[in-house]
Amino acid sequence: MTHPGEITRRQLLRRIGFTAFVAGPGAGLLSACATAGTGAAPAPAPSTSLAASADPKNPFGVDAKKPLEVVIFSGGYTDAYAKEVHEELYKKAYAGVTIKHNATQQIGTQLRPRFVAGDVPDVLNNSGPESMDLTALAAEGHLADLTPLFDAPSIDDPAVRVRDTLTPAVLENARVNGMNLVLNYTVSHRALWYNAKLFASKGWTAPKTWAEFTALGDEAKKEGIVLFAYPGQKGPYYQLWNILYTAAKIGGNQAIIDIDNLVDGVWTADPMRQAVTAWAEIQAKYGDKAYFGLDHTQTQVKQLQNQVLFYPVGSWIENEMAKDIPDDFEYAIAPIPDVTANDAMPYGAIQVGVGENFVVAAKGKNPQGGLEYLRIMLSKEGARGFTEKTKNLTVVNGAAEGVELPAGLVSAAKAQDSAGQNIITEARFEGWYKELFDYGTEQTNRVMAGRITPEQFCTAMQKKADDIKQDESIAKQSRS
């Protein structure tokens, strides 16, 4: 799934089995996957050997005799899209090739030792709660440069380069340590999600201003419906996102960019303070504290039962709850209402982000095959297959044409159209400075529960951001 903390119950149990062993009383076992000894300095990625050639059929010079190993995070999307679509396409293109398919939910547990030992898979879907620190892997030269991939001819039209077939955010988000190393494959739309059928039956419309939002809250209260809820257990980051996006709506994308760049005083600046204050008030007046103790699934089920009006999440929600959606429920996206009279972004702005990381190992046995595999994923056929299997959109432009999409995705696509240029950027510190992000989710629960004031929230976050900035052991990233 695109959301990192998302874990299924089975996965949780499995994880517990593992972690209970690792961090037992002594916790000395932590180092069971210890260093491979004091090796030499990491070799730079062999980028020269991967230059794209002119041959549009096989630009990377893939050797069909070389096997390819693919590791897929088998979470909400499962691994069918890889096994039944992409790998089949690869085998069709290179007859006789063997593919070692490996699906797991424990990316970190399985692969961290392999990276340390130097026995790496060619293609890796780095996702889920145990996803690995790509910055650290990049610093070790483990990730192949994807520039040749982006510059290679696309499969559907050799005259068009791969980079021109993709949502621009892919290229922006590919960069780690100044190099193009990560392919984000999915597109998701984040804002507030509600039940369109309930709104239609009550004659309600999505609120455009904060006053309309609270008026609807009063209305809903009479019906015994909570205006807004987020899961305080396992999902408080949904609300942290929501606050960040609200701050971006008030102060423009620069608010989030500055947070990512650890700019001094950005957390205590007006946009952030206004966003937190607005949401803390909504929670205090229209919320229910029980949700602080419910997890995402429990909260989502309550929304399906029409007990919650708005829920801050991304477009994967529809597929996630697909089995449980009742007949009188239809997911639709609502942009965040205007907080102030002069928000930097007009009503309609939503967050459209790319996610689901794929990388190619630079020191693997078949990096050429890895790049080619990604090129196949980015073909129209590969992308359409993914959308059909997972009901989620990909970064490939126009690949979903002709695929029958569920109502929620259609509403998200419409919302993106009407948002036009007003697309809220994603907060990248979530991946860059996990410690700051985790601290943020904790503080989010505190401020929403009223245990600290919005001012204290801002001060605490700023202090943590300053600490991270000063910590030399943490590699710094920057964006624009």
Question: Which residues are at the interface with other proteins (CB under 8 A)?
Answer: 9, 12-13, 16-17, 19-20, 22-36, 38-42, 108, 112, 115-116, 130, 132-133, 136-137, 139-140, 142, 232-234, 288-290, 292-294, 434-435, 438, 441-442, 445-446, 449, 451, 473
User: Whole-angstrom Cα distance, residue 135 to residue 176?
Assistant: 6
Orientation angle between helical segments 434-448 and 454-470, nearest 10 degrees: 170
Instruction: Report the residue number, 139 or 344, with the smaller CB distance to other proteins.
Output: 139
Whole-number minimum distance, CB 253 to other proteins, in Å? Answer: 27
Instruction: Report the residue number, 91 or 221, with the smaller CB distance to other proteins.
Output: 221
Instruction: Report the residue number, 301 or 403, with the smaller CB distance to other proteins.
Output: 301
Residues 438-453 as b/e (b if ≥16 CB within 10 A, e otherwise) read bbbbebbbbbbeeebe
Residues 368-388 as b/e (b if ≥16 CB within 10 A, e otherwise) read bbbbbbbbbbbbbbbbbbbbe
Beta strands, E only, 106-259 = 123-126, 175-176, 179-180, 183-195, 226-228
Residue 206: partners with Cβ closer than 8 Å, 6 or more residues away: 194, 199, 332, 334, 335
The angle formed by the CA atoms of residues 360, 366 and 369, to the nearest 5 degrees, is 70
Whole-number minimum distance, CB 436 to other proteins, in Å? Answer: 10
The angle formed by the CA atoms of residues 179, 185 and 186, to the nearest 5 degrees, is 135
Whole-number minimum distance, CB 138 to other proteins, in Å? Answer: 10
Whole-number minimum distance, CB 410 to other proteins, in Å? Answer: 33
User: Whole-angstrom Cα distance, residue 294 to residue 234?
Assistant: 8
Instruction: Report the residue number, 302 or 391, with the smaller CB distance to other proteins.
Output: 302
Residue 189: partners with Cβ closer than 8 Å, 6 or more residues away: 314, 315, 333, 350, 351, 352, 412, 413, 415, 416
Instruction: Report the residue number, 62 or 465, with the smaller CB distance to other proteins.
Output: 465
Whole-number minimum distance, CB 346 to other proteins, in Å? Answer: 36
Instruction: Report the residue number, 61 or 108, with the smaller CB distance to other proteins.
Output: 108
Instruction: Report the residue number, 119 or 133, with the smaller CB distance to other proteins.
Output: 133
Residue that has been written with the tokens 């509403």 in this structure: 411
Whole-number minimum distance, CB 380 to other proteins, in Å? Answer: 36
Whole-number minimum distance, CB 378 to other proteins, in Å? Answer: 27
